[in-house]
Amino acid sequence: MQNTIGGLGEFALIRRVTSKFPRTDDVILGPGDDAAVVAAPDGRTVATTDLLVEGRHFRRDWSTARDVGHRAVAQNFADVVAMGARPTGLLIGFAAPADLPLEWAEEFTLGVRDECAAAGGAVVGGDTVGCDTLTIAITALGDLQGRAPVRRDGARPGDVVAYSGHLGLSAAGLALLTAGTAGAAGTAACLDEYRRPSPPYPAGPEAARLGATAMLDVSDGLAQDLGHVCRASGVRIDLDPDLLRPEPALTEAVRVLGEEPGRAVAFMVSGGEDHALAATFPAGADLPGHWHRIGTVLPAAEEELRVTVAGRVPERTGWDHFPGE
């Protein structure tokens, strides 16, 4: 039992885990009290929460504990920067079976630590409980630095649509794992992005400074997520397939999977979990090269508030955790 979290005991686990987390200037009071105190310099706090459940959001045989730690943090801080905010604090709820190897918990912690460092945020608190299903609950906080939050409802006809980060690689990585062809040459970037998505953190506040009218992170799939912008803003977004240029690893993954080359664009349009940022900008915005223009915002009637690709509705539109009948 001594090499499981059950053998160590709850308070010992918390002490061992929190001792690994560096503090930042945003941490006014860190872990160890009833609650943490985090800086909110402009009088507002951005807050978002996500759950990761073993077997649904990760598999211990497909991702290392460290990967899961990275991903858990990345998908939450991606939501923070998608508001145009700077990551500040993170809280971790860790529900695990008593027979979870201590090494898994510790490696997870190291992934959390390193992804926090990449994003610029700090772990400020958490909770550890027993649970038959390994479940990780993350809450991320952020600082808008005096700017208005970039919401989903501000896209206007004539705006350009652009993304920063990766699109389709994570979904292709998952497809490779599912097909048992994960080791194929030239596709490693897909696996990497599936296991440890790399949101372009600085691009979120940057987009806000550049005047982004709407922004979100791509978690459920580009078309599905931009669909939220369409409905909230009362617009249609048309993506230009000629501007949807797959990265080499995605092109290669599609080949290894035995699918037509055209499927690479489908992965970009429907695949989620890369946690790219997608945003709309005024037509004249001067976008840095890591913002890839992919489409245009159009006026739309009430029944046309959706994403199209070259004018047509794409087939697959994403992922629903409780698919309805």
End-to-end CA distance of the chain: 44
- Min dist CB 162 to its own copies, Å, is 17
Tokens of 53: 């459940």
Residues 6+ apart with CB under 8 A from 297: 155, 156, 157, 158, 159, 160, 161, 233, 235, 236, 237, 280
- Separation of CA 298 from chain center: 27
- Min dist CB 240 to its own copies, Å, is 25
Instruction: Taking each helix axis as running N to C, give the angle between helix 65-81 and helix 102-119, from 0 to 180 degrees, rounded to the nearest 10.
Output: 30
Residues 6+ apart with CB under 8 A from 10: 128, 129
What is the spatial distance between Cα 250 and Cα 190, in angstroms, rounded to a whole number?
7
Q: Strand 135-143 relative to strand 86-96: parallel, antiparallel, unpaired?
A: antiparallel
- Min dist CB 194 to its own copies, Å, is 18
- Min dist CB 141 to its own copies, Å, is 6
- Min dist CB 315 to its own copies, Å, is 19
- Min dist CB 195 to its own copies, Å, is 19
Closest CA to 176 of 271, 245, 107, 104: 271
Q: What are phi and psi of 174, to 5 degrees?
A: -60, -40
What is the spatial distance between Cα 183 and Cα 181, in angstroms, rounded to a whole number?
6
